[in-house]
Structure 1
Amino acid sequence: MPPAASLIENFKKIRTLPHIVTRLVQLVNDEESTLQDFEAVIRLDPALVARLLTLVNSSYFGLARKVDSISRAVALLGMKNLHNIAVTDAIQGMLRSSSGTVEFSPQRLWLHSAASGICCKMIAERIFTINGDDAYLCGVLHDIGLIVEMEVEQEIFLQLIEQLTAGGPAIIELEQQLLGTDHCQIGYLLAQEWRIPGPIAEAIRDHHHDNGHIIPHSPTGILQMSEYIIQQLNFPAVKEGLPASLAPALATHIQSNVEEYRVLAEDLPEELEKTEKMYGG
């Protein structure tokens, strides 16, 4: 069995994506599914019902009237938004229950993932005027492979973190040396298993790679630009002080739209603060 697949199999013995989230993925991918289908699934999980009602009534959504029924919350949020909230909740739950060490902070990885999701959504909507739901999912899930490595091979993972330096090999190079795979490939396989749409899975696979043909408005392009921006704003995934790089095509695009990206970067911390409050920090 290839190293990535082996790590995932061992990870699944420890954790798994909640059944509710898996079912929501199936509904998102089914063109014939309705809001009533979503409501029926969500009602099976009282904790998720309570979470959604809390979220939809939070300042993040800024609604004028209180929402007290799950059917209204479903109608207001929409299918993809509901799915993304459930996925975000699941990822945060995994990281909240992960054991931190001096070398690794689950909270730091959570903030990085949340910031990336928000930044991806902002880039999609503000810069390219396209729906940002898929872009958000790219950002939140792109480092799921790091969680797998931490849970399954903690000693090697911490050794890897320790070897990360500003002038040293990139994280995926160290992963290949120590684990025979990397978090991009692990995340890609998991995304496929969870039936995440192909372009999102491919962006997770390619977020550390430059093949010379990255299109700025593609999921991969948006994710890589988001990674660059949040690194500049000091929301690292695992370690501070590591340099951020950007593919030439993406750097040219940002330079051509520098004022828009500057405003976006200025607004990002406030948006992240809203999300932290929404998910309890």
Structure 2
Amino acid sequence: MSNAVTFKVLEDIAKDLSGDEITFPTFLDITFQVRTALKDPNLNVDQLAKLVGAEPLMSTKIIRMANSVALNPSGREIADVKNGIIRVGMEAVRTVSFAVAMEQLLKSKQMQPFEGISRRLWEHTAHVAALARVLARKIARINGDEAMFTGLVHDIGVFYLMSRAAGFPELVADKAELHALLVGWHDNIGHALLSALGSPESVLLAVQEHETDREIKEIKTLSDVLYVANKIANRTASWRDPEFDGAVDTSMLDSLFDAETLAGIVDESEEEVASLKTALGG
């Protein structure tokens, strides 16, 4: 297949993301609504609970997250959206909105040709999100909720590219070309999409740099956290197809941690990773 189709996909996306009025993909509708609501400085929990309550999937995930082991060590269950939001925090609603958006996309008819890679991608995404939260809280000492959100959206460029590629049957049929498009462009496309959605600069930088190999001697920033979480997840849950791509180089982990320390980090976070993956669903 000629690269002309790939160029056409990228050209269409560039036009969409550089225009004055951006048309967001349908699967991001609820995320856009939540983002708009959260920008209101006068927004209160009751108002947010009303918005979330109108979306059954979001309501379910908020309550599930509030009752997860990671956020509910006391074991006292919550059954309503308002108290769920109070427990997880208003910003966590943004994270859940993306989880719902991507889950809806993955279950849509247009994504059926990408079933295998979609399944691997969601597994990888949930793992990175959970690991990012653990690394942020336990090592970098930065906001764990922001780190989890960044982990959840770090590969949104892959989801978005697949949703656009679905309209080009010849690209869908050429798995090697499709895979090259996803691998080569997902970080820049994800950065542009999140920028259009008004994401914080720290999140944008972390997403743009998450595939850029570099030496890290100490995990300090959100960008460091995402980069390392992505490397750890790539050892056991990479979304890339080994038929078209070599294994991701994760050797920097062996320079950053000794084997015992890295194993300890993974073991210590295992329950929380599982809990957060369960809370996000998918």
Give the TM-score normalised by structure 1.
Answer: 0.76
Alignment counterpart, residue 51 of structure 2, candidates 37, 41, 45: 41
- Does residue 161 of structure 2 align to residue 126 of structure 1? no
Q: Which string of whole-angstrom CA distances, capped at 9 and with x for unpartnered residues, describes residues 133-165 of structure 1? A: 111112111111112222222543664x5379x
Q: Which runs of 4+ in 1 moved over 6 A?
A: 211-215
Residue equivalent to 1:68: 79
Q: Which amino acid aligns with 1:263?
A: G
Residue equivalent to 1:245: 249
Q: Distance in 2 between matches of 1:264 and 1:157?
A: 39
Structure 1: state its 5+ residue gaps.
165-170
Structure 2: state its 5+ residue gaps.
1-6
Residue equivalent to 2:267: 266
- Tell me how large the CA RMSD over aligned residues is: 3.6
Q: Which amino acid aligns with 1:25?
A: R
Alignment counterpart, residue 190 of structure 2, candidates 187, 191, 195: 187
Q: Residues 57 and 100 of structure 2 are in contact (CA less than 8 Å); yes or no, is this contact kept in structure 1?
A: no
Higher mean displacement: 44-53 or 207-216: 207-216
Q: Residues 124 and 237 of structure 2 are in contact (CA less than 8 Å); yes or no, is this contact kept in structure 1?
A: yes
Q: Which string of whole-angstrom CA distances, capped at 9 and with x for unpartnered residues, describes residues 40-79 of structure 1? A: 4323334422442344345554453332332211211111
Q: Residues 120 and 223 of structure 1 are in contact (CA less than 8 Å); yes or no, is this contact kept in structure 2?
A: yes
Q: Which amino acid aligns with 2:171?
A: I
Residue equivalent to 1:24: 34
Q: Distance in 2 between matches of 1:158 and 1:72?
A: 47
Q: Distance in 1 between matches of 2:25 and 2:75?
A: 42
Sort the Cα spacing of 1:149 and 1:223 in 2 relative to 1 into closer, same or farther, 3 A: same
Q: Residues 45 and 86 of structure 2 are in contact (CA less than 8 Å); yes or no, is this contact kept in structure 1?
A: yes
Q: Which amino acid aligns with 1:188?
A: H
Q: Residues 214 and 220 of structure 1 are in contact (CA less than 8 Å); yes or no, is this contact kept in structure 2?
A: no
For residue 229 of structure 1, give the secondary structure of its aligned residue in structure 2.
helix
Q: Which string of whole-angstrom CA distances, capped at 9 and with x for unpartnered residues, describes residues 3-22 of structure 1? A: 65622739957634133x22
Q: Distance in 2 between matches of 1:105 and 1:215?
A: 32
Residue equivalent to 1:216: 219
Pick the structure with more helix per residue.
2
Q: Which amino acid aligns with 2:227?
A: Q
Count how many residue pairs are aligned between Structure 1 and Structure 2.
263
- Aligned positions of 1:1-281 closer than 5 A: 4=10, 6-7=12-13, 9=16, 15-19=26-30, 21-29=31-39, 32-58=42-68, 61-62=71-72, 63-97=74-108, 98-101=111-114, 104-154=116-166, 155-156=170-171, 159=174, 162=176, 174-175=180-181, 182-210=185-213, 216-232=219-235, 234-240=236-242, 242-245=246-249, 252=255, 254-255=256-257, 259-281=260-282
User: Identity rate of aligned residues, in percent?
Assistant: 18
Q: Distance in 2 between matches of 1:197 and 1:96?
A: 29
Higher mean displacement: 26-35 or 107-116: 26-35
Higher mean displacement: 147-156 or 104-113: 147-156
Residue equivalent to 1:167: none
